[in-house]
């Protein structure tokens, strides 16, 4: 067995690999870029080597630096994780040439499956059903257009070197073909340095079903059943599960046998995934499921297979790389229950899923006993350099209904702030009737449109929870006496005309009464005067609008930073006379601009703010002395 392992990756998958290696007594070496100097995977590993600047092409994608780090630390083997260099046959060969163990398939297998057209031809020759289409050498646009017409619209143009859902165009009719081809080729050249495309029949009611396979160096190959990854956004997986809903035993046997045949055709060693596309218009039928591509690495969604099979796939990878035979035979493998995984991303569904970066001041996952494979923890910084996936929530139950309930429950209480997350979106998708019925195709998310985008404005329940939280938080704080009086008055006087104004992202909301306990919300503090309320995975930060409203107590002249952020403009100078409501400075936080104004007439007695400066929450920015 190898004694030491370098992990050529970052984030959750690096942490995941360290966990299994450590359990096996293997010493772990992490690599990291500038941006990751304090990352979780670096702290978890036994040793860590800095390999360069933050951009991946200057660090995580530089094979020579990674091999040098392995040699310098005496690591015997390299695990590439997924993404980055994991499907780079040249790198795999260089690792082997350096006298190190490559935790992955033979470089020749990676090459054979690397291009989608070559892989499909190989599979067709091995007798595996492939998605109907054209996969030849000729790339003349007029010729390709004829092939598309022959296949029959709609068709899918795919970059042969594509991956991660990029380099694909669905074409509905002949008139759109030329433009779609040109744009697909442009994207393929820019992203993969290869303009070659293939054309496939666009499968109706498509479901993405894939099979986990595993080979060893002794000629054994097994499968570990299927996963269903049909819940996708723009051809990228969002929620995955195992087994596949509606898969009967006979169909499963045929599909998994085809997958093993595919793996055998390339003498496969290690963990791999055979991806199929199914036409589910009449349920899952073996004669309507076709080979799409093979991923010659550990897959992001491997945990759902681990949950239903009881196998630690990373442990198997390390055993196989060490020359051991597969620990179990095919007849010793079986499916236990149902598992699901949701990919938690630092992105904002409300702005078209733009990635969101910054420090995770709050990162609370529910207490329930679920598996979380995370690459971050509270106070970690999400940088703009890498994939925005920060964690995976994984549940396992006796049956599918139980798994959906567990996933929905886990997502409901997930709180991420001020970095935006897709937890609310995942919640709505998982809780939808169609998903609960196990009846989604890869088009589900697109068809739902805005129905899966969580609200950005707080509702009455959220405001009520915030009000209650603030009342409790303030009751023992004397220094905020004005707010204290306000909240106390609101709490005691439940008559109809007593209201409380709360502010969320610069917008004022009126709360009419203190609500009863219960409901779906979770609250915690988010700063001295702010309540963080989470409902259905969506987090809101709510406070009293004290930074723009006037009151008249001496200490109200202290203008504190309401949250961590950056000062973008200062409108006053020290000693200046100001009038109530006058703009003092503008703070940018949570990607929003907040204007802080003078609470009353006075002079600027103290000014601790300069444009461009980062400020912590509760920092004293300006002190206004009242005029008597």
User: Which residues sit at the interface with ligand ADP, rule CB under 6 A?
Assistant: 56, 82-84, 131, 156, 158, 162-165, 200-203, 206, 208, 232, 235-237, 275, 277, 292-293, 295, 299-300, 386-387, 389, 442
Total chain residues near Mg ion (CB under 5 A): 1
Q: In sequence order, what are the residues at sequence separation of 6 or more whose Cβ sits closer than 8 angstroms to the Cβ of residue 190?
A: none
Residue given tokens 């709180």 in the structure block: 415
Q: How far apart are CA 146 and CA 153, in angstroms?
A: 11
* DSSP 3-state of 363: strand
Question: Which of 216, 215, 219, 237 minimizes the C-alpha distance to 227?
Answer: 237
Tell me how far apart the alpha carbons of residues 403 and 303 are, in angstroms, rounded to a whole number: 14
* Least Cβ distance, residue 111 to ligand ADP (angstroms): 16
Nearer to Mg ion, 275 or 618 (CB): 275
Distance of closest approach, residue 315 Cβ to ligand ADP, in angstroms: 19
Residue 69: strand, helix, or coil = helix
Q: Closest distance between Mg ion and the C-beta of residue 190, in Å?
A: 19
Nearest-approach distance from CB 611 to ligand ADP, in angstroms: 35
Shortest Cβ contact with ligand ADP: which residue?
83
Q: Nearest to residue 53, comparing CAs of 73, 37, 70?
A: 37
Decide whether 83 or 424 has the Cβ nearer to ligand ADP. 83
Q: Which does 153 bind (CB under 5 to 8 A by kind): ligand ADP, Mg ion, none?
A: none
Binding at 564: pick from Mg ion, ligand ADP, none (beta carbon under 5-8 Å per type)? none
- Find the distance separating the first CA and the last CA of the chain, reported in whole Å: 80
Min dist CB 443 to ligand ADP, Å, is 9
* Bond into 418 cis (ω within 30): yes
Active site residues: 297
Instruction: Please state, in angstroms and rounded to a whole number, the distance separating the CA atoms of residues 252 and 591.
Output: 48
- Footprint of Mg ion on 315-374 (CB under 5 A): none
DSSP state string for 154-204: SEEEEETT--TT-SEEEE-SGGGHHHHHHHHHHHHHHHHS---EEEEEPPS
Structure token pair of residue 586: 């503008």
For ligand ADP, the closer CB: 262 or 502: 262
CA torsion angle for 532, 534, 538, 543 (degrees, to 10)? -30
Q: Could you tell which of Mg ion, ligand ADP, none binds residue 389, using a CB distance below 5 to 8 A set by kind? A: ligand ADP
| In 280-419, beta strands by DSSP E | 289-295, 338-345, 347-348, 354-355, 358-359, 362-364, 371-374, 381-382, 389-397, 415-417
Q: Which of residues 63 and 80 has its CB atom nearest to Mg ion in the complex?
A: 80
Residue nearer to ligand ADP on the CB measure, 159 or 604: 159
Q: Residue 173 or residue 592: which is nearer to ligand ADP going by CB?
A: 173
Residues counted in the chain: 628
Token output for 256: 């998994």
Q: How far is the CB of 390 from ligand ADP (least distance, A)?
A: 11
Q: Point out which residues pair with 215 in neighbouring strands.
A: 221, 270
Q: Enumerate residues 272-311 that contact Mg ion by CB under 5 A.
A: 275
Q: Which is nearer to Mg ion, 275 or 315 (CB)?
A: 275
Q: Minimum distance from CB of 105 to ligand ADP (Å)?
A: 15
Residues making contact with Mg ion (CB under 5 A):
275
């Amino acid at each position: 067995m190898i004694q030491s392992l370098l992990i050529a990756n970052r984030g959750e998958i690096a942490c995941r690999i360290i966990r299994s290696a450590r359990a096996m007594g293997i010493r772990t070496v992490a690599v990291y870029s500038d941006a990751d100097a304090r990352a979780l995977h670096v702290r978890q590993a036994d040793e860590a080597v800095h390999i360069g600047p933050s951009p991946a092409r200057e660090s995580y994608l530089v094979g020579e630096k990674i091999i040098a780090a392995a040699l310098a630390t005496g690591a015997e083997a390299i695990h590439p994780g997924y993404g980055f260099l994991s499907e780079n046959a040249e790198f795999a060969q260089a690792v082997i040439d350096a006298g190190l163990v490559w935790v992955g398939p033979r470089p020749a297998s990676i090459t054979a499956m690397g291009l989608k057209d070559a892989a499909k031809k190989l599979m067709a020759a091995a007798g595996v059903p492939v998605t109907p289409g054209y996969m030849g050498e000729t790339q003349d646009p007029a010729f390709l257009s004829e092939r598309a017409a022959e296949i029959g619209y709609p068709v899918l143009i795919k970059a042969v070197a594509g991956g991660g859902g990029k380099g694909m165009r669905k074409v509905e009719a002949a008139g759109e073909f030329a433009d779609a081809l040109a744009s697909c080729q442009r994207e393929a050249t820019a992203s993969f340095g290869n303009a070659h495309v293939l054309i496939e029949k666009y499968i109706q009611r498509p479901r993405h079903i894939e099979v986990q396979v595993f080979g060893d160096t002794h000629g054994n190959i097994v499968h570990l059943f299927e996963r269903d990854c049909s819940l996708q956004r723009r051809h990228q997986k969002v929620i995955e599960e195992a087994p596949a809903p509606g898969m009967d035993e006979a169909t499963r046997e045929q599909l998994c046998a085809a997958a093993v045949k595919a793996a055998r055709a390339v003498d496969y060693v290690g963990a791999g995934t055979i991806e199929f596309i199914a036409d589910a218009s009449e349920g899952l039928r073996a004669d309507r499921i076709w080979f799409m591509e093979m991923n010659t690495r550990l897959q992001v969604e491997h945990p759902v297979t681990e949950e239903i099979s009881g196998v630690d796939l990373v442990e198997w990878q390390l055993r196989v790389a060490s020359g051991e035979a597969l620990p179990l035979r095919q007849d010793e493998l079986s499916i236990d229950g149902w598992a699901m995984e949701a990919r938690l991303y630092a992105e904002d569904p409300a702005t078209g899923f733009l990635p969101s970066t910054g420090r995770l001041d709050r990162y609370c996952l529910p207490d329930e006993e679920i598996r979380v494979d995370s690459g971050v923890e509270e106070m970690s910084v999400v940088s703009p350099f890498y994939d925005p996936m920060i964690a995976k929530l994984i549940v396992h139950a006796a049956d599918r209904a139980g798994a959906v309930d567990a996933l929905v429950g886990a997502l409901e209480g997930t709180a991420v702030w001020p970095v935006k997350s897709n937890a609310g979106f995942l919640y709505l998708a998982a809780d939808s009737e169609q998903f609960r019925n196990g009846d989604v195709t890869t088009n589900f998310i697109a068809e739902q449109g805005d129905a899966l985008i969580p609200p950005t404005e707080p509702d009455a329940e959220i405001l009520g929870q915030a009000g209650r939280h603030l009342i409790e938080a303030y009751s023992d704080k004397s220094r905020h006496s004005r707010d204290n009086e306000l909240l106390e008055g609101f709490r005691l006087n439940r008559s109809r005309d007593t209201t409380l104004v709360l502010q969320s992202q610069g917008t004022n909301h009126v709360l009419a009464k203190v609500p009863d306990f219960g409901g779906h919300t979770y609250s915690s503090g988010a700063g001295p005067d702010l309540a963080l309320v989470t409902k259905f995975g969506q987090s809101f930060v709510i406070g009293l609008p004290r930074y723009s409203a006037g009151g008249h107590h001496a200490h109200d002249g202290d203008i504190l930073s309401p949250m961590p952020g950056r000062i973008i403009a200062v409108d006053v100078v020290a000693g200046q006379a100001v009038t109530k409501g006058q703009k003092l400075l503008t703070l940018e936080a949570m990607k929003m601009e907040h204007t802080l104004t003078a609470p009353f007439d006075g002079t600027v007695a103290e000014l601790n703010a300069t444009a461009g400066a980062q400020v912590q929450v509760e920092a004293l920015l300006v002190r206004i002395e009242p005029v008597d």
